[in-house]
Chains A and B, each alone.
Chain A
Amino acid sequence: MSKIFTTPLAKNNPITVQVLGICSCLAVTAQLKPAFVMALSVTVVVALANLIISCLRNTIPPRIRIIVQLVVVSALVILVNQVLMAFVYDVSKQLSVYVGLIITNCIVMGRLEAFAMSRKPMESLLDGIGNGLGYGVILVILGFVRELFGSGTLWGYPVMEKLGLYNIGYENNGLVIMAPMALILVGVIIWIQRTKDKDLQED
C-alpha cells in the first residue's frame, strides 16, 4: 500500500520519469506561489478523480470510458475553480487560466486510464495523492530556483535585496524566468535523479 504512495514521488515521478505534465510545469513555475497552488490543485483533482473513477470502474462502458473520465475531471476542475474564486479570490486570479488547463494535464488522464480503471478506491486515492505530490515536488523545486535566481525573491519576499547582494554587483538572471530554463532545470533534475538511482538508467 505505502509503495503505491511513495513510488510516484521518486521512482515513478510523473514529471521526471513518466515525463508527463511538462507543459504546465514550464508555464507556472516562474514564481513559487503559483507553482505551489497549482501543485495543490492538481493533487486535489487527481486524487478525487482517481477515487470517483475507481468507484465507478465496474459500471463504466469501455467504449465511452475516456468521455466519462473527461466529464469527471472537468467537473472537478470547475468545482476547484469556483471554490477558489469564492474563498481565495486572490490566488484564483493569480492562477487564472492554468486551473482550467488541469483538464488537459496528461497526469490526470494518465492515472485514470492506467490505475483507477482497474484498482480499488482506496489504492486509487493514494495513487492520486502520490502522483499529485510527485508532480508538486518538482513544481515547487522549479518555482524555488526560478524565483530565487530570476526575480531575487521567494514567495514575494525580496531575499537577494535583504542579503545586500545587489549592492556588490549581483544581478537577477533574466534567462531563468523564461520557459526554456524550466526545461533545462527539469533536465538537470532528471540527470541527478538517474545518477543516484541506477534502476532508472537505460542502456
Chain B
Amino acid sequence: MKNFSNKYIFLYSALLVAIVAVILSVVAMGLKERQDNNIRNEKMQVLLQAINVNVTRDEAAVNYQQYFDQELTVATDGSILSVWNVKESKMEKGDVRAFEIKLKEQQNIEKSGAQGAFPVYVFTKDGRKGYVIPTQGNGLWGAIFSNIALDEDLNTVIGVTFSHESETPGLGAEITTEKFQAPFIGKQILDENGQVISIAVKKNADANGMHEVDAITGGTMTSNGVNEMLATDLMRYQKFIDATRAAAAPQENTAVEEAANEEEVNHE
C-alpha cells in the first residue's frame, strides 16, 4: 500500500470537496428555474384538481386563470388581509399574494401566539362560486397536505385532494387515491349551528354520516394525521366562514337553517 503524506490527504480532500461543491451548485442553479416552475404549476394543478378540473401540469397556469377569481389572505379573526385578483394579476388589497404563503410558517406564527395569515382561493365553476382551503399537517413520516373545495355555502365539500411528502407507498400514501378521496365529496364541515366540526377519518365510518369517512387499512397513523390536520386547519377559518355566510345570505339565514334541519331529520 502506498504511503500518503498528511499534506496530500488534506489537499486531496479539500480539492475533492471543492470540485463536488462546484458541480452541485452549478447543476442546482441551472435546474432551479425548471424545478420552481414545476412546483408552481403543480400547485395550480392540484388546486384545479380540488375543483374537479383535471389538466396536465403544462396546461395548469392557463386553466388556473380561467377558473380562479381571487386569492384571499385571511386572519384567524376573520378579517381579510389581502386580495389578489387572478384574472388581472394584480393586488387589490394588502401586499402578500396568498399563493406564495407557506402554510407551515403561518402555523408556527399562530403557535407562537401571534396571528397568522391563511390563504383562501375563490373560484367560479359552472357559474357557481366556491372556495378552496389548503391545509397542512403531519402524517407518519412527514408532512401531508390537502385542498378542500367548498361550495358557496362554505359547508359542503365538492372536491378534495390529498398529497404527502413521504408516506409509505401502498399504505399511508393511499391518501392520494380516488378510493380515499371520493367519499369526502358531499360531506359537510359545519354542524347545524354553523360551527366547524370537520370531517373525521376513522375505521368503519358510517357511509351516510355527514362528517366521517373511512380510514386506510394499514395506514392508521397517516389517517389520524389527516383527521388532525383537517380539524385543526379548518377551525382556523371559523370566523371567516361565519362572516362570509352572514354576508352572503343575511335574510335567508333562517331558511337555510330550516332546510338543513329538515335534511337531518330525513337522514334519521
Contacts and interface: CB of A to CB of B under 8 A. Distances in A.
A10 to B, nearest CB: 27
Q: Is the interface of B mostly helix, strand, loop or mixed?
A: helix
22 contacts: A30-B170, A31-B170, A59-B12, A64-B13, A68-B12, A68-B16, A75-B20, A82-B28, A82-B31, A82-B35, A83-B27, A83-B31, A85-B35, A86-B38, A89-B35, A89-B57, A97-B141, A147-B170, A151-B170, A174-B218, A177-B171, A178-B218
Interface string A13-54: 000000000000001101100100000000000000000000
Contacts of B127: none
A189 B111 CA distance: 51
B217 interface: yes
A86 B39 CA distance: 10
Interface of B: 1-2, 4, 8-9, 12-13, 16-17, 20, 23-24, 27-28, 31, 34-35, 38, 42, 57, 141-142, 163, 165-166, 168-171, 217-218
A155 B265 CA distance: 45
Contacts of A59: 12
A154 B1 CA distance: 52
7 A-B pairs with least C-beta separation? A30-B170, A61-B4, A86-B31, A177-B170, A86-B34, A97-B166, A89-B38
B166 A96 contact: yes
B218 A177 contact: yes
B164 to A, nearest CB: 8
Contacts of A151: 170
B171 A30 contact: yes
A187 interface: no
Contacts of B169: 28, 30-31, 34, 94
A62 interface: yes
A68 B10 CA distance: 12
Given A79-B27, A177-B170, A86 B218 contact: no
A192 interface: no
A34 B23 CA distance: 28
Nearest to A96: B166
Contacts of B35: 82, 85-86, 89
Q: Is the interface of A mostly helix, strand, loop or mixed?
A: helix
A79 B24 contact: yes
Given A93-B163, A97-B142, A177-B218, 11 more contacts: A28-B169, A31-B169, A61-B12, A64-B9, A71-B17, A72-B20, A75-B24, A79-B23, A86-B38, A96-B165, A178-B171
Given A97-B142, A177-B170, A82 B4 contact: no
B221 to A, nearest CB: 13
Contacts of A72: 20
Contacts of A60: 12
A111 interface: no
A3 B181 CA distance: 50
Interface string A57-92: 011111110011001100100110011011101000
Nearest to B179: A151
A49 B171 CA distance: 32
B104 to A, nearest CB: 17
Interface in A70-127: 71-72, 75, 78-79, 82-83, 85-87, 89, 93-94, 96-97
A30 B168 contact: yes
A35 to B, nearest CB: 9
Nearest to A151: B170
A186 B100 CA distance: 46
Contacts of B4: 61-63
A163 B42 CA distance: 34
Nearest to A68: B16
Interface in A176-202: 177-178
Nearest to B33: A86
